[in-house]
Amino acid sequence: MRERMLPWLVADWGNPSSRHSFGVKARTAIDHSREQVAHALGAKAERVVFTSGGTEANNLAVLGSARARRQHGVHILVGPAEHPSVRDPALALIDEGFDVEVGQLGSDGAFDIDAFLASVREDTVLVSLMLASNEHGSIYPVARVAAGVRRIAPHAHIHTDAVQALGKLEVDIVELGVDSVSISAHKVHGPKGTGALVLASELPIRPLVFGGGQEGAVRSGTENVAGIAGFGEAVQLADEALVTTRAHLSSLKQRLADGLAEIDGMRVLTPGGSKETLGSIAAVLVGGPPAEVYLHHLEERGILVSVGSACQAHKNEASPALLALGLSAEEARQVLRFSFSRESQVSEVDAALEVLQALAGELSTL
Ligand code: PLP
C-alpha cells in the first residue's frame, strides 16, 4: 500500500482533472482504485464516489438521497444503533420538514425485523440500517430488510453503513439489495480520511459539496490521489484475506468471551443473544468503576482498548447505541471496547485476560 501511495506524496503532483500526461497519470491511479473498490463490493466502477471517509459518505447518502426524493414523501427511518454520521444528519432533516423515525431494539438488544418493517410507510423516502455495529459488533439483516422495504415503499432509497463490516463480512451491493453502501479506508488498514459511497445504479443524489463536478458531480473537489490509491489497495487486500480474517477474528473474540466468563462480573455483551457478531469488536461490560479507569490501567500494561466508540469521544454523553441495548447510563459507562484486526494475536488476548483478571480484584472495591 505504501508503494501505491508514495508517488502521489513525493513526486507526482499532477491534478487528476488536468488533460496533460501528469494529470492523466493521476486519473489512471484513481480509476484503478475505483475498479478495486467496485470489484470488492460487486458494484460498477462508475458508481463509486470517493469521499473524505465514512462520515462524509453517510452524510451524503442520508442528506443527498432524502433531498433528491422529497417529491415522493418526507418519511425517513434509520436503524436503532446507527453511527452518529447517519443518525445526526437524519435528525437534522427534521428542520427541513422531514418526519424522521429511529428504530428501536427489543429490551434485550435484539433487532426485530418485523417491528422495523412495520415502521416503513408508502411515502418512506430513505431507510438506513448499518450492516454491523461499531460498538458491539451486532450484524443486522440488511438484505432481508431491503427486500421488505422494497415491497412497501417504492421510492425509498435504501442505504447501509458497511464501514465496520468491510473486510470482516461479505459486502456485496447486489446481494444486499441496497441502493448505497458507505465504506471507509482506515477500517481495512488504509489511510485515514478516505472513504466512498458506492451506489447500485444511477440514482438521484443531491451533492453536499458543489464545485468542479468531480466524482460524477456528486462530490466536487480535487481528489485525494494518495489516499484513494492506498484505499483501493487496502480494500483489495482485505477482500482477498476475507475468509481467513473472519475465522481468525471470531476465534479471538470467542477466546476473550471464554476467558471473561471466568472473571466475576465481566462479560462480552451479546445483544439479543446474537450468535453471529463481528469478530473484530467486543463490547465488554466490566462492572465496578467506569470503564475509563480500566482503560488507563490496561494502557499502563501495554493493552490499548477504547471506551464506547472513538466517534463518541467528542461528545460527553453515554452512547445511544449502548443505551439502546437496555443498559442504564451507569452500565453504558462500564463498557470497554476491544477491537481486533487481522494482525491481532492470540497471545495479546491472553495478555489482556490476565490483566483484566488482576484488575477485577484490585478495582472491584473502588
Ligand atoms: N460508520 C461507522 C459504523 C463507523 O464505525 C465509523 C468510524 O469509526 C464511521 C461510520 C465514520 O467513518 P470515518 O471515521 O471514516 O469518518
**pLDDT tens string for the chain (366 positions)?**
888 898 899 888 989 988 998 898 999 999 999 999 999 999 999 999 999 999 999 999 999 999 999 999 999 999 999 999 999 999 999 999 999 999 998 877 889 999 999 999 999 999 999 999 999 999 999 999 999 999 999 999 999 999 999 999 999 999 999 999 999 999 999 999 999 999 999 888 999 999 999 999 999 999 999 999 999 999 999 999 999 999 999 999 999 999 999 998 898 988 877 778 999 999 999 888 888 888 998 999 899 999 865 445 555 667 777 887 778 888 888 999 999 999 999 999 999 999 999 888 777 665
pTM of this prediction?
Answer: 0.94
Q: How far apart are the first and last CA of the chain?
A: 46
Q: Where are the domains of the chain?
A: 2-240, 242-362
Give catalytic status of residue 311 as yes or no: yes
Position in ligand 1 atom list of the atom nearest CA 132: 3
CATH topology of domain 242-362: Aspartate Aminotransferase, domain 1 (3.90.1150)
The one catalytic residue among 45, 143, 311, 355: 311
Position in ligand 1 atom list of the atom nearest CA 55: 16
Q: Is 54 exposed, middle or buried (0-12, 13-18, 19+ CB in 10 A)?
A: buried
CA distance 92 to 119: 20
- Can you tell me which residue has the cell 459488533? 137
- Can you tell me which residue has the cell 499502563? 300
Q: Could you tell me the distance, in angstroms and rounded to a whole number, from the CA of residue 32 to the centre of ligand 1?
A: 24
- Can you tell me which residue has the cell 487496502? 234
Amino acid at 343: E
Beta bridge partners of 51: 195
| CATH number attached to the domain at 2-240 | 3.40.640.10
Position in ligand 1 atom list of the atom nearest CA 184: 15
Ligand 1 pocket, residues with Cβ under 6 angstroms: 53-55, 58, 83, 85, 130, 134, 161, 163-164, 184, 186, 195, 311
